[in-house]
Amino acid sequence: MLKKNKICIGTANFDQTYGIYNSNKIKKQDIKSLLLYCKKNNINNFDTAPRYNNSELILGKFLNYFHNPLVSTKLPNIENNLHNIEKWLNINVEKSLKKLNLNNINVLYIADNSNFNNKNIAFLKDLYNAVIKLKKNNLINNIGFSVYDLNIINNQKFIFPDVLQIPFNIFDQNILKKKYLNKLKKNKIKIYIRSIFLQGVLLTRDIEKISNLSLRKKIVDMNKFRKNLSINNLEFNLNFINKFDFYDKVLIGINSKEQLDDIINFKKIKNFDINYKKYNCEKRKIIDPRLWTK
């Protein structure tokens, strides 16, 4: 089973639909039930962002349920021709803290793949240095980067953060390559994994909705194999995640407390030696949701 202290609840669906094939957002009464269930199970780690509409504000209304909530959030998209980085940073961090009703942010994600290129590297260093001041003032605990393509950490100019958030699932197992894990371990980087269900498509029953034919074929093949083992979608995917312990947190988007209950009470599948390596894929058009089309 997944360790509760490793679970981080994603809030992208608190005030919007999230996932290219998901048409529903979680209802407000279900958010309350979910968070009360988190409290009951000593899950106090959450991930949010200003770009998720009012998710920060909604989450902030319930954080007084928790003794020591640990919240990660992201900076908004960086403005073009930004001159005063420190002022812009302070304004946005203050906005997030106010919405969340907190005095401290556990992880502030300051960059994603779009920021990492030679043109922006000087700007990113300035931003990083400004964030360090917030860290020294105890407004944040950790500086984080969120990436899709792990090749970025091989860039000689890459700045190693405290936390690196990366995708990891049955189809995207690239982090398992030694050249990545060894470098992150050497630099003492905490690893937070996300997209363990690939924005929900690895659990979907509506296969025909998936317009990416290559992705659809891989899911059909996977489902055919697991059905022969009499294993459901959730069990098959969680069993894969449960095989590894290199990560510090696993970010999971939840639609209801019942779904979280299924995840918490998942038990490792015994008597099966499943070869998950055969499902790994290097093609970005399959494993990167930004490159999908509805």
CATH of domain 4-289: 3.20.20.100
Q: CA Rg, the chain, in Å?
A: 19
End-to-end CA distance of the chain: 33
- Any residues with CB less than 8 A from the CB of 164 and at least 6 apart, and which? 144, 145, 146, 147, 153, 184, 189, 190, 191, 192
pLDDT given for residue 128 in this prediction: 87
Q: What does pTM read for this prediction?
A: 0.93
pLDDT of residue 20: 62
Q: What is the dihedral of CA 135, 165, 244, 67, to 10 degrees?
A: 50
User: What pLDDT does 22 receive?
Assistant: 63
DSSP code per residue over 81-98: T---HHHHHHHHHHHHHH
Per residue in 108-143, pLDDT tens?
Answer: 998 765 555 555 667 778 888 899 999 999 999 999
Domain ranges of the chain: 4-289
| pLDDT tens-place string over residues 37-93 | 999 999 999 999 999 999 999 999 999 999 999 999 999 887 767 788 899 999 999
Residue 104 has pLDDT above 70, yes or no: yes
Helix (H) or strand (E) holding 263: helix 257-264
pLDDT value of position 271: 61
Q: What percent of the chain has pLDDT over 70?
A: 92
How far is 56 from 15, CA to CA, in rounded Å? 9
pLDDT in tens, 192-234: 999 999 988 999 888 888 888 999 999 999 999 999 988 999 9
